[in-house]
Amino acid sequence: MTQPNIALSTRPGQMTAVMRAMSQATGPKVLRIGLVQGGKVIEERVIKQRSHVTIGPSEKSMFVIPSKNIPPNFRLFELAGGEYFLNFLDGMSGRVALKTGISDLAALRGQAKRVQFGNVQAYQTALSEEARGKVVIGETTFLFQFVAPPPVMPKPQLPVSVKQGFASEIDWTTTIIAAFSFLFHFGAIGSVYSDWMDPVIDDEVDVAQLLESVKQLPPPPPVEQPKETNDAPQASAAAAEAPKPSGASGGASKTAGGGSMSDARKTQISNELAQLDVQMLGALNSSGSATQGVLNNGEVPTGLLDNAAASGVGVGRGGIAGLNMGNGSGGTVRPGQLGGGLGAVGNTAAGAPAGVGSAAAVRGPVGNASIGGAAVSGGSVANASSVVAGMAAGFRRCYNKGLQEDPGMKGSVRITAKIGPNGEVLGASPSGGGGLSGTVIGCVTGRVSSAQFAPPEGGGATIVIPVTFVSQ
């Protein structure tokens, strides 16, 4: 039985082609390190980027191990000049396979180079790319060897169907034709309903029609004026009720201004009021309690007596309703005549009796406030002198109010003001003040509290203001 000849295909398989297509890693080998604890490999790492491999209890180390016999960041494998070196301490053990053979770390101490890591002395030996071995540090073992670098993984790319997306599935030719068709049809419909076909409007015709319509509007209603009330009858009634003097005309004169009172009528009413005042004074009995109340207690205002003295109306003397003025002659006492009556008051003419003169105006004491030099401490205030000088008028008003209560008041007071960073007065406290009332001191303190100074240099200052009050 003959077997058919099976031709062996020289075409490589798909996996072989992919492996051949991948770029092979070139360059120096890299370290492969395994960390063993308790007989189990707990970590394995390939140092793709050739660099130092550090161990120790510090978190900055590549391999963190709890050991107090090594520095915090000890370089177990040190890269220098493109080659790796193994650094080990006296407390470390292990075996290393070199070109010369397998050697213990204890045997390599005599051949290794001594290097210094801080306060610790270590041993250093060179490693080739064929070297491998283990280093034991307490309960932790490091296994190492040099391996070829892993191939660079290609960047992942999305499938072509995903890359194309929705835009690749659109028929752009049909879409453009449809868009222009819609634009043409909707443009034609919009032009039909637009104002292009509207008739032309003449603005002059429209304005003329508007003016004609305004002319045809009815006139506005008249504005009602408020009616003036005539108070002349009321004034006439009030004048009729007042008693009339002897010799005066009986009827009230009519006003020429249609409701306004004439000057003659005003003079007549003033004279009638003056007669009423004099008659009331004449009703006071010379020996009764009413006269004593007027002259001693002032139950009747003194202004009424002044008006009676200035009036030309006489006052009857004696009798039950008379007023005893102390005149030597009988009859009526006329103001303005010489004698012992009211007419002698204020008469300075020649021939007046001795002791009779003009009444002098009586004026109370006037206070003066003198401000001494203001002392500034704790900082510099630019306008301290001008602001303090401007307080003089306020201090003088405070003192004049106090003189109304005590005319003999005088004294000195010192006001201490604390100035804030913005120039405001944070607080004012008085000191001294002997001879001055609490009202004056409080008023002066309030005036200082309301003052505003320039912002002091240094953030704050203290100003002491001495004030002296003297009455004139």
Read off the pLDDT of each residue in 119-147 and give the average, rounded to a whole number. 90
Distances (CA, A) of 51 to 79, 84, 332, 351, 358: 6, 9, 139, 136, 122
Q: Please indicate, yes or no, if residue 279 is contained in any of the structural domains.
A: yes
Q: Please indicate, yes or no, if residue 227 is contained in any of the structural domains.
A: no
Task: Tell me, yes or no, whether 300 and 398 share the same domain.
Answer: no
Q: What is the share, in percent, of the chain residues with pLDDT greater than 90?
A: 14
Q: Please indicate, yes or no, if residue 449 is contained in any of the structural domains.
A: yes
Task: Tell me, yes or no, whether 426 and 321 share the same domain.
Answer: no
Statement: the pTM of the whole predicted model exceeds 0.85: no
pLDDT at 314 over 60: no
Task: Tell me, yes or no, whether 143 and 65 share the same domain.
Answer: yes
Task: Tell me, yes or no, whether 375 and 325 share the same domain.
Answer: no
Pair of tokens at residue 275: 């007669």
pLDDT of residue 285: 45
Q: For 337, list phi and psi in degrees, rounded to 5.
A: -90, 155
Task: Tell me, yes or no, whether 309 and 381 share the same domain.
Answer: no
Average pLDDT, the chain: 74
Total of domains in the chain: 3
pLDDT of residue 260: 65
pLDDT of residue 217: 84
pLDDT of residue 280: 67
Q: Which sign does the torsion angle of CA 270, 276, 280, 286 carry?
A: positive
Domain end: 147, 178, 194, which one? 147
pLDDT digits (tens, 9 = 90+) for 401-434: 888 888 888 889 989 999 998 889 989 999 888 8
Confidence of residue 176 (pLDDT cuts 50, 70, 90): very high
Task: Tell me, yes or no, whether 325 and 388 share the same domain.
Answer: no
* CA nearest to 442, candidates 365, 450, 407: 450
pLDDT digits (tens, 9 = 90+) for 44-56: 999 888 889 999 8
Task: Tell me, yes or no, whether 123 and 47 share the same domain.
Answer: yes
pLDDT at 346 over 90: no
Q: Please indicate, yes or no, if residue 20 is contained in any of the structural domains.
A: no
Question: Is residue 336 classed exposed, middle or buried when 0-12, 13-18 and 19+ CB atoms within 10 A define those classes?
Answer: middle
pLDDT digits (tens, 9 = 90+) for 351-406: 444 444 443 444 556 778 888 888 888 888 888 888 988 888 888 889 888 888 88
pLDDT at 224 over 70: yes
pLDDT of residue 278: 62
pLDDT at 37 over 60: yes
Please state, in angstroms and rounded to a whole number, the distance separating the CA atoms of residues 148 and 140: 26
Please state, in angstroms and rounded to a whole number, the distance separating the CA atoms of residues 437 and 430: 12
Q: Please indicate, yes or no, if residue 323 is contained in any of the structural domains.
A: yes
Read off the pLDDT of each residue in 178-206 and give the average, rounded to a whole number. 80
Task: Tell me, yes or no, whether 140 and 42 share the same domain.
Answer: yes
Q: Please indicate, yes or no, if residue 189 is contained in any of the structural domains.
A: no
pLDDT at 66 over 50: yes
Domain end: 311, 328, 343, which one? 343
Q: What is the domain extent for residue 330?
A: 266-343
Task: Tell me, yes or no, whether 290 and 333 share the same domain.
Answer: yes
Domain end: 88, 116, 147, which one? 147
pLDDT digits (tens, 9 = 90+) for 198-217: 666 667 777 888 888 888 88
Q: Assess contact for 98 and 126: CB atoms under 8 A.
A: no
What's the DSSP call for residue 424? B
Which residues lie below 8 Å from residue 15, measured CB to CB, with a gap of 6+? Answer: none
Confidence of residue 343 (pLDDT cuts 50, 70, 90): very low
Please state, in angstroms and rounded to a whole number, the distance separating the CA atoms of residues 410 and 191: 100
| Sheet-wide strand order for 101-104 | 40-46, 30-37, 140-147, 132-137, 93-98, 101-104
Task: Tell me, yes or no, whether 36 and 141 share the same domain.
Answer: yes
Instruction: Considering only residues 359 and 3, tell me which one the structure prediction assigns the higher pLDDT.
Output: 3
The CATH number assigned to the domain holding 410 equals 3.30.1150
Beta strands in 20-150 (DSSP E): 30-37, 40-46, 53-56, 63-64, 74-80, 83-88, 93-98, 101-104, 113-117, 120-127, 132-137, 140-147
Task: Tell me, yes or no, whether 317 and 385 share the same domain.
Answer: no
The CATH number assigned to the domain holding 71 equals 2.60.200.20
Q: Please indicate, yes or no, if residue 297 is contained in any of the structural domains.
A: yes
Confidence of residue 77 (pLDDT cuts 50, 70, 90): very high
Task: Tell me, yes or no, whether 307 and 371 share the same domain.
Answer: no
Q: Please indicate, yes or no, if residue 65 is contained in any of the structural domains.
A: yes
pLDDT of residue 305: 55
Distances (CA, A) of 209 to 108, 170, 191, 205, 346: 122, 61, 31, 6, 86
pLDDT digits (tens, 9 = 90+) for 237-287: 444 454 444 444 444 444 444 456 777 787 888 778 777 766 666 655 444
